[in-house]
């Protein structure tokens, strides 16, 4: 088909050919732009997710500073009750003070062992094993135990042995194997 | 004359011959005499297709415009909230570090039963005809050494009743097994020496 014939065909059918060309162009546009829709939707999903996350962070952090301050002050209070394994004299003094306060008698000096290895590497504190052997009446020993368990330092009794004498008038003996929460 | 007696016409028998005159009609130049012209359908289809595509394209562009506007909104919000959020995240990490210390202390304190409370409770719930000779808390459980007053059979009955009492005690949930391990008569006093074992649960019972 020559150019003249083509031109004649166009002149003869201007509407159908014009619409056909327009439809072709629009089809190309739909194809090209339609491919962008999933990408734009994915970008919107990502942005909205990030936006909601940031917004949620801000919303949840409304009282975070106050809570953090409360935790810091609580940890300061805890820190004052934590035993330092290196301060051997001070730690011994703690048990002698308990002995005086509760009127029990320490049969042997308290034996503080080196801190046991941390089970969790992220753990802040270590357990410091202590062996005690005391004598006293039942109320004295109970007072001593109570002072230990709810006293200055955090303490947990692992094992104990409480025994009396046959005549029931001699003082009772209490051997305790405990752990204090401390820092190396 | 009857019809079947008439002679048949020769015209029907004559062979078909082409028209005697040439057809001078020029169909291309003659007007289209159809009620609806073919061009109408072609133009109509072309216009419809173009129109449909135009509408579809327009809707798609509108959708893209809306999505881009939403993205711009979110981006503006992200830019606005990011500094505050970053500060909050950093503070939260510090919070977690502080919280970890408190959790550790709480776990340490709760990991074992208060021994003073245990002894006090055992002393308070002890029957009048039974006395403690000793208590021994081990890793596996608690050993109770008792002296029971009474004749052998009665004393053993008291000890068994006491064991049942311990088993039913709601405050001794840390133990899951209660048993009498030894029972011997003391010849000097005539009393029965009984040893009981309360086995510690391997996993603590939830209250």
pLDDT at B89 over 60: yes
Hey, is the C-beta of B99 within 8 angstroms of any chain A C-beta? yes
Residue B91 with chain A: CB contacts under 8 Å: 61, 64-65, 68
CB spacing of A19 vs B46 below 8 angstroms: yes
Q: Is the ipTM of this complex over 0.85?
A: no
CB spacing of A33 vs B61 below 8 angstroms: yes
SS3 sequence, chain A? CCHHHHHHHHHHCHHHHHHHHHHHHHHHHHHHHHCHHHHHHHHHHHHHHHHHHHHHHHHHCCCHHHHHHHHHHHHHHHHHHCEECCCHHHHHHHHHHHHHHHCCEECCCCEECCCCCCCCCCCCCEEEEEEEEEEECHHHHHHHHHHHHCCCCCEEEEEEEEECCCCCCCCEEEEEEEEEEEEC
Whole-prediction pTM: 0.68
Q: Give the nearest chain A residue to B101 (CA atoms).
A: A124
pLDDT at A14 over 80: yes
Triad A78, A83, A88: Cα angle to 5°? 160
**Mean confidence (pLDDT) of chain B:** 86
Helix axes B38-110, A64-81, angle to 10 degrees: 20
Residue B119 and residue A162 in contact, taking contact as beta carbons nearer than 8 Å: yes
CB spacing of A159 vs B42 below 8 angstroms: no
Enumerate residues 6+ apart whose C-beta is below 8 A from B192: B147, B148, B150, B152, B155, B156, B159, B183, B184, B185, B186
Hey, is the C-beta of B96 within 8 angstroms of any chain A C-beta? no
pLDDT at B43 over 60: yes
Mean of the pLDDT values across residues A14-23?
A: 91
B150: left (phi over 0), alpha (psi -120 to 50) or beta: left
Express each pLDDT in B188-201 by its tens digit.
788 899 999 999 98
Tokens, residue A8: 């004649």
């Amino acid at each position: 088909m020559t150019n003249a014939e083509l031109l004649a065909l166009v002149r003869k059918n201007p509407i159908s050919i014009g619409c056909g060309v327009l439809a072709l162009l629009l089809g190309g546009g739909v194809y090209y732009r339609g491919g962008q829709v999933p990408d734009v939707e994915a970008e919107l999903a990502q942005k909205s997710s990030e936006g909601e996350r940031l917004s949620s962070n801000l919303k949840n952090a409304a009282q975070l500073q106050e809570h953090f301050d409360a935790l810091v002050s609580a940890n300061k209070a805890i820190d004052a009750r934590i035993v330092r394994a290196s301060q051997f004299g001070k730690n011994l003094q703690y048990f002698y003070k308990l002995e005086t306060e509760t009127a029990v008698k320490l049969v042997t000096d308290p034996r503080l062992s080196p801190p046991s290895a941390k089970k969790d590497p992220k753990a802040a504190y270590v357990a410091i094993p202590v062996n005690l052997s005391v004598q006293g009446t039942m109320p004295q020993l109970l007072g001593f135990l109570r002072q230990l368990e709810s006293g200055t330092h955090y303490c947990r009794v692992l094992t104990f042995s409480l025994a009396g004498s046959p005549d029931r008038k001699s003082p009772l003996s209490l051997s305790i194997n405990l752990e204090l929460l401390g820092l190396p | 004359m009857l019809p079947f007696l008439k002679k048949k016409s020769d015209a029907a028998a004559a062979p078909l011959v082409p028209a005697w005159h040439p057809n001078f009609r020029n169909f291309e130049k003659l007007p289209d005499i159809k009620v609806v012209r073919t061009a109408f359908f072609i133009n109509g289809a072309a216009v419809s297709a173009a129109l449909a595509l135009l509408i579809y394209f327009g809707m798609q562009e509108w959708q893209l415009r809306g999505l881009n506007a939403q993205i711009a909104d979110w981006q503006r919000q992200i830019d606005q909230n990011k500094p505050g959020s970053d500060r909050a995240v950093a503070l939260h990490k510090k919070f977690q570090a502080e919280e970890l210390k408190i959790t550790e202390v709480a776990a340490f304190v709760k990991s074992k039963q208060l021994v003073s409370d245990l002894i006090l409770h055992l002393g308070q719930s002890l029957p009048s005809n039974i006395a403690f000779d000793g208590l021994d808390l081990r890793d596996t459980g608690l050993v109770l050494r008792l002296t029971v007053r009474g004749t052998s059979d009665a004393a053993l009955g008291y000890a068994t009743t006491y064991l049942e009492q311990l088993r039913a005690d709601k405050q001794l949930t840390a133990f899951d097994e209660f048993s009498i391990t030894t029972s011997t008569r003391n010849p000097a006093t005539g009393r029965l020496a009984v040893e009981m074992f309360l086995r510690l649960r391997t996993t603590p019972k939830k209250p």
